[in-house]
Amino acid sequence: MVVSLDLSDRDKRAALSASAGASFMDEQKKPLIGLSREEMRLVLIEIGVPEKQAKMRTSQIWHWLYVRGVSDFALMANISKVLREMLEESFSIARPEIVEEQISKDGTRKWLMRFPARGAGKPVDIETVYIPEKNRGTLCISSQVGCTLTCTFCHTGTQRMVRNLTSEEILAQLLVAKDRLGDFPDRDTPQGGIAPERVRLVSNIVMMGMGEPLYNFENVKSALLIASDSDGIALSKRRITLSTSGVVPGIYRTGEEIGVALAISLHAVNDELRNELVPINKKYPLKELLDACRNYPGINNARRITFEYVMLKGVNDSLNDAKELARLLKGIPAKINLIPFNPWPGSEHECSDWDQIEKFADFINACGYASPIRRPRGSDIMAACGQLKSESEKMKARERLAMAAMVSGHGDE
């Protein structure tokens, strides 16, 4: 089943967004979502909340926003009407407009959300993808609209950079997904949502959508610290993964200041090829990148770094590449995700032959590294685009054969 609403269908879009509670994000008002507790306390004092009460009010509002998921001050039942009106006048807690929601037959969901222009000339649209699996549900979140980098295998790299997303907009992707999935307690399951049979439908998040998160460090940091706050959304930092193309200083900062799991878009095992595939390598070559990984705080065999490796036919998929990959990663607790390349019109690469992907995976495996091959998800809604990709899962031989059949016509991963 694909549920799809087209751009002209304003009523349905309003209904979708209204299920989240209120009017759309308003750039004229200051957002409360995305502020740290201290920042929230200070802005409450600015609008006249007595200093002695501000900490308590912050805790109340925090609970409503992140535990109960409300997007309308009127629903904050333990806050006086007068204060609710003051809040309404000064601040926004509204959701973005949901332009489109698609649900794949495999349960993958994709939302196209619209955020205010904020200096970009016109409102911006971004995609967020939810991938349900047996024991978890992963939300793939974007950090920028477009990207300044130009990785040659990535569709987003062909799109111009428009702007960074704010911490509010990064969090909004998570809040909208929870709204639409019925993943907040005490909230009605929206029409078309999944009944909350288990405690958390969004159990994991990956900063792996559009953009380089470490080029929007402060906003990403604020959003992830709020998402992992134990009195709010309370996602474990082990279940949050930040994926970078290799911004080395940002990797050190991520380890020290955020403490979430790390993924590296690696894709090549020597500087010459990586300079071409992931041009930021010219600034931060492999040695520096891998040193930063070796020194990433808290890594061990239970908390490994994920290395993403897109399989490009005749480019990076030989057994010599596999051998070099194992050598390079020696000493780093690592998992290697092999990603069958998803071509787009005009892309200069082809996906490796399935046999070759298998041989590559087997070699890496024999060297002692987990090397799952990503299984395409949401193909009927084209959930894969740029790095908005698929689940990571070790496939059994039977599934690999099925996958091989799909990859032979893999234009639409």
Interface positions with ligand SF4 (CB under 6 A): 147, 149-151, 154, 156-157, 210-212, 245, 265, 386-387
Burial class (CB in 10 A: 0-12, 13-18, 19+), 181: buried
97, 127, 308, 413: the active-site residue: 127
Please, which residue, 110 or 400, has the CB nearer to ligand SF4? 110
Minimum distance from CB of 4 to ligand SF4 (Å)? 25
Strand 30-31 to strand 91-92: parallel, antiparallel, or no bridges (unpaired)? Answer: parallel
Minimum distance from CB of 30 to ligand SF4 (Å)? 29
Distance, in Å, from the CA atom of 380 to the CA atom of 398, rounded to the nearest integer, reads 22
Active site residue 127: yes
Please, which residue, 157 or 372, has the CB nearer to ligand SF4? 157
Distance, in Å, from the CA atom of 375 to the CA atom of 399, rounded to the nearest integer, reads 9
Q: Return the half-sphere exposure (C-beta side, CA atoms, 13 A cut-off) of residue 33.
A: 30
According to DSSP, residue 146 is labeled S
Residues 6 or more apart whose Cβ sits within 8 Å of residue 168: 25, 31, 33, 34
Residues 6 or more apart whose Cβ sits within 8 Å of residue 57: 44, 49, 79, 83
Q: Is 137 helix (H, G, I), strand (E, B) or coil?
A: strand
Minimum distance from CB of 274 to ligand SF4 (Å)? 12
Minimum distance from CB of 162 to ligand SF4 (Å)? 13
Candidates 117, 106, 97; CA nearest to 384 is 106
DSSP character string of 7-76: TT-HHHHHHHHHTTSSSPP-TTSEE-TT--HHHHHHHHHHTT--HHHHHHHHHHHHIIIIIS----GGG-
Here the tokens at position 385 are 């685009």
Amino acid at 10: R
Q: Is 148 helix (H, G, I), strand (E, B) or coil?
A: coil
Angle, helices 217-227/167-181, rounded to nearest 10 degrees: 40
Distance, in Å, from the CA atom of 204 to the CA atom of 221, rounded to the nearest integer, reads 16
Please, which residue, 5 or 149, has the CB nearer to ligand SF4? 149
Minimum distance from CB of 285 to ligand SF4 (Å)? 16
Whether 40 contacts 158, CB under 8 Å: no
Distance, in Å, from the CA atom of 19 to the CA atom of 76, rounded to the nearest integer, reads 17
Whether 209 contacts 128, CB under 8 Å: yes
Minimum distance from CB of 153 to ligand SF4 (Å)? 7
Minimum distance from CB of 138 to ligand SF4 (Å)? 17
Please, which residue, 44 or 210, has the CB nearer to ligand SF4? 210
Active site residue 385: yes
Minimum distance from CB of 318 to ligand SF4 (Å)? 22
Please, which residue, 112 or 210, has the CB nearer to ligand SF4? 210
Q: Just list the catalytic residues.
A: 127, 385
